[in-house]
Structure 1
């Protein structure tokens, strides 16, 4: 299975963010997406998920030898601060979510089984979501894509504000499902990208650039990436001043 971007571009008034991106993401590979704040990582995710329209280009899914346009039902986007109905308990929310998506769930399980997948105990599940920590909310969000099993999972800095225990739990889950999905993991933490992901991509200069696997494992990797991104920023500042 492949996610194929062909000449994908997106601009906003006075600023081009993505320019002619050509890239192919493959199944069974965790991709880390690195870039400076404002480089366009979230914009890229929003374009892929269909939340905003691209200006031009194509986004295709190749599966089982067939290639077709990507649809919103193929994608799940996980965000750092999920907005969930806080007037419901975690259990009530999952029950509602399962019922609302019954036609998309291939192998339904009991709510208790789903809760066990993210080590969320029943007592916590019966609490109102308004009383949940960010980590607990993210566990519910993770359950949403574990239930739906979308072909493509986009993670927009989902581990940044979590404690180390929850981070470790989520890392294990992410690794355990990569064989069946295309997973792109946006982060600004270089160490996390190295530890968790198979491939590292930089979004800079409005385009995607592979980081050589050898370079990603070398000593001084972080310094090299920082220097590259700072160089890009300097060039942009110089261009703006012309």
Structure 2
């Protein structure tokens, strides 16, 4: 069996005396969309920040691409979209994307092609010359997603990427994630939207910093004889 692309072993994280992640264990295989499903405040964002090295774990070990995290050397192999948009408000959308493309080492014709491709994917080509300060919240989310895809990363980690995005564009983004997965990209996505959870190959359900269940959407429902992921989440979490 191949080595997982991402592996978490006994990961815990505390801020002061408050433990926000408790003994998390899971692995993500190459070319898999792994969803982290849980309500706001369940620890999803802290977990993905630990996975890319933005936060240091209090206990346990995280390996990504056979490298113990944190490690700056694999940054260029990861695409990360944070929950809060890290954009330059006074620059246009194109200038933002161009700046990050240069940071990622893209040059010349290839850089121009990638910029056009990612802006087209999130339907921002017509608005690329607008300042980001004039963008709506949904447009900023789409721009952040475009930036995370620029350098064709091996691993894509997305923290609630479709919040504030209209349903039609949300569908097209998930279609693109499916294409990326088929081409070998490993994707971790956090969500609290049940229909998005159904689109993942496997799900990890998080509640109050603990992993309460892991499996494919079908397995999670069949295991406890329910019809929906929402029912499954409530049951595994002890609410039913």
**Contact 2:10-2:25 at 8 Å conserved across structures:** yes
Q: How far, CA to CA, are the matches of 1:9 and 1:103 in structure 2?
A: 36
Aligned residue in 1 for 2:230: 222
Call closer, same or farther: CA 1:193–1:46 in 2, change over 3 Å. same
What are structure 1's unaligned runs of at least 5 residues? Answer: 233-242
**Contact 1:104-1:148 at 8 Å conserved across structures:** no
Q: How far, CA to CA, are the matches of 1:152 and 1:197 in structure 2?
A: 15
TM-score when normalising by structure 2: 0.82
**Contact 1:36-1:229 at 8 Å conserved across structures:** no
Q: Secondary structure at the match of 1:11?
A: strand
Correspondence 1:190 to 2:194? yes
Q: Secondary structure at the match of 1:192?
A: helix
Aligned residue in 1 for 2:34: 31
Q: How far, CA to CA, are the matches of 2:104 and 2:42 in structure 1?
A: 34
Aligned residue in 2 for 1:68: 67
Indicate the larger mover: 131-140 or 70-79: 70-79
Q: Secondary structure at the match of 2:237?
A: helix
Correspondence 1:8 to 2:11? yes
Call closer, same or farther: CA 1:104–1:28 in 2, change over 3 Å. farther
Q: How far, CA to CA, are the matches of 1:33 and 1:200 in structure 2?
A: 6
Report the CA distance between 1:4 and its aligned residue: 1.0
Q: How far, CA to CA, are the matches of 1:144 and 1:16 in structure 2?
A: 32
Call closer, same or farther: CA 1:216–1:154 in 2, change over 3 Å. farther
Aligned residues: CA RMSD: 2.6
**Contact 2:93-2:129 at 8 Å conserved across structures:** yes
**Contact 1:39-1:203 at 8 Å conserved across structures:** yes
Aligned structure 1 segments of 4 or more residues deviating by more than 4 angstroms: none
Call closer, same or farther: CA 1:181–1:104 in 2, change over 3 Å. farther
Aligned residue in 1 for 2:116: 112
Q: How far, CA to CA, are the matches of 2:52 and 2:203 in structure 1?
A: 20
Q: How far, CA to CA, are the matches of 1:50 and 1:58 in structure 2?
A: 11
**Contact 1:39-1:204 at 8 Å conserved across structures:** yes
Q: Secondary structure at the match of 1:27?
A: coil
Correspondence 1:156 to 2:159? yes
**Contact 1:9-1:56 at 8 Å conserved across structures:** yes
Call closer, same or farther: CA 1:104–1:8 in 2, change over 3 Å. farther
Call closer, same or farther: CA 1:19–1:95 in 2, change over 3 Å. same
Q: How far, CA to CA, are the matches of 2:107 and 2:46 in structure 1?
A: 26
Report the CA distance between 1:103 and its aligned residue: 6.4
Q: Secondary structure at the match of 1:19?
A: strand
Aligned residue in 2 for 1:50: 53
